[in-house]
Chains A and B, each alone.
Chain A
Amino acid sequence: EVQLVESGGDLVQPGGSLRLSCAATGLTFSSYWMHWVRQAPGKGLVWVSRINSDGSTTSYADSVKGRFTITRDNAKNTLYLQMNSLRADDTAVYYCARALKFARWFDPWGQGTLVTVSS
């Protein structure tokens, strides 16, 4: 069974940093593009970032560009999201998801990790 498990969410002050992790099991991790998607409380899903299978290319939503960095360690089957200069509007549950056909659809999703930015 393919499983994704996120960790690293926490309460952080505005301007602070946090690194999220997403551990993958049950799949050949190095074969798949991976994405981060977030969901603010009571709101819809919003795409954040993606990385290709070998980590050589990345892309970001305008709202996080220059502040967030997506990376992966294929030897450890783990995806990361380094989040810097955090703002209140970054408060959300962050999900990692395996991409099928690069970005055409997503399955499975992790259970999510909550990031709260507040003083």
Chain B
Amino acid sequence: QSALTQPRSVSGSPGQSVTISCTGTSSDVGAYDSVSWYQQHPGKAPKVMIYDVNKRPSGVPDRFSGSKSGNTASLTISGLQAEDEADYHCCSYAGSYTPVFGGGTKLTVL
């Protein structure tokens, strides 16, 4: 199973919006509405921000939203804040009770 493809880095100024893409195949992202996104600050554990493509767990700000089209999923963060600076990892269900992750994207808040 090949890793999902994410941009290495994205950046934005406070208050702006940024979108991070996650491209897979018709066997993972395209096959299931089971894409999740994880935020990871340096030295910390990943934290789920989006699951099932566009659902937010309790406590996650509504500035975070997710979508999917074909084999590509996206995470959009609106109203960027300094605390959003982190690594973001996408993940898709890939069948047979296994997931596949992306390579991670570093978000810099300018």
Contacts and interface: CB of A to CB of B under 8 A. Distances in A.
A103 interface: yes
Chain A, interface residues (CB within 8 Å), range: 20 to 34
B86 to A, nearest CB: 13
Contacts, number: 73
- Looking at chain A's contact residues, the main secondary structure is strand
A45 B97 contact: no
Interface of B: 3, 6, 32, 34, 36, 38, 44-48, 51-52, 57, 89, 91, 93, 96-104
Given A105-B34, A105-B91, A106-B99, 20 more contacts: A35-B99, A37-B101, A44-B89, A44-B104, A45-B101, A46-B101, A47-B99, A50-B97, A59-B96, A97-B46, A103-B97, A103-B98, A104-B32, A104-B52, A104-B93, A104-B99, A105-B48, A109-B45, A109-B46, A111-B44
